[in-house]
């Protein structure tokens, strides 16, 4: 993992985890154990989906840089569909509080996206790789062997 990707992951996961702790505590107070379980499941789902997305984008950027933007858009759609499927599957569950699950999922998603946006805005990622000083050639210089060297 590149250092800027690791920083982005850290800058997104820490605030999301903090919001998750708050969501679990609030849900435990308002809805009891089932509320805490629902909130924890929502936060874990968001973190798992977003981390998988980050790793998939990193893999795509390394192997197929020309597909990076398209893959990013496709992964956002897959995230949306995956979370929609989970919501549909657990719509009528009595295992946990669906209301706490939904609010924690929404809060964690908003915090992750905001943190990811902030991390990308603050990252100093070069768009063009600068060439090293020894690779630069003076303008008009040609590849000519120095005098006295074998050619």
Report the range of poorest mean pLDDT among 47-61, 94-108, 114-128: 114-128
For residue 144, the number of C-alpha atoms closer than 13 Å in the C-beta half-sphere is 7
Separation of alpha carbons 55 and 116, rounded Å: 14
Q: Is residue 29 part of a domain?
A: yes
Separation of alpha carbons 66 and 49, rounded Å: 23
Over residues 75-96, the pLDDT tens digits come to 889 988 998 899 889 888 888 8
Burial class (CB in 10 A: 0-12, 13-18, 19+), 101: buried
User: Does pLDDT of 21 surpass 90?
Assistant: yes
Q: Is residue 150 part of a domain?
A: no
The predicted model gives 16-36 an average pLDDT of 93
Residue 129's pLDDT is: 64
The predicted model gives 98-112 an average pLDDT of 92
Report the range of poorest mean pLDDT among 41-45, 58-62, 81-85, 141-145: 141-145
Q: Is residue 39 part of a domain?
A: yes
Contact by Cβ (8 Å): 11, 76? no
Residue 8's pLDDT is: 79
Contact by Cβ (8 Å): 44, 104? no
Residue 136's pLDDT is: 60
Structural domain count of the chain: 1
Output the CA–CA distances (angstroms, integers) from residue 39 to 29, 34, 64, 147, 150, in the order listed: 12, 9, 37, 75, 74
Domain range spanning residue 92?
3-122
With vertex at residue 54, the alpha carbon angle to CA 57 and CA 117, rounded to the nearest 5 degrees, is 105
pLDDT tier at 36 (50, 70, 90 boundaries)?
Answer: very high
């Amino acid at each position: 993992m590149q250092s800027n990707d690791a920083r982005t992951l850290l800058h997104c996961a820490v605030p999301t985890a903090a919001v998750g702790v708050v969501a679990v505590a609030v849900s435990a107070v308002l809805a009891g154990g089932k509320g805490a379980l629902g909130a924890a499941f929502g936060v874990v789902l968001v973190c798992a989906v977003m981390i998988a997305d980050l790793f998939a984008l990193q893999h795509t950027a390394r192997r197929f840089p020309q597909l990076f933007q398209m893959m990013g858009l496709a992964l956002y759609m897959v995230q949306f569909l995956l979370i929609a499927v989970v919501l549909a599957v657990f719509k009528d569950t009595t295992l946990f509080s669906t209301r706490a699950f939904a609010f924690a999922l929404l809060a964690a998603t908003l915090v992750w996206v905001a943190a990811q946006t902030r991390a990308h805005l603050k990252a100093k990622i070069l768009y063009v790789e600068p060439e090293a000083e020894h690779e630069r050639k003076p303008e008009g210089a040609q590849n000519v062997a120095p005098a006295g060297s074998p050619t």
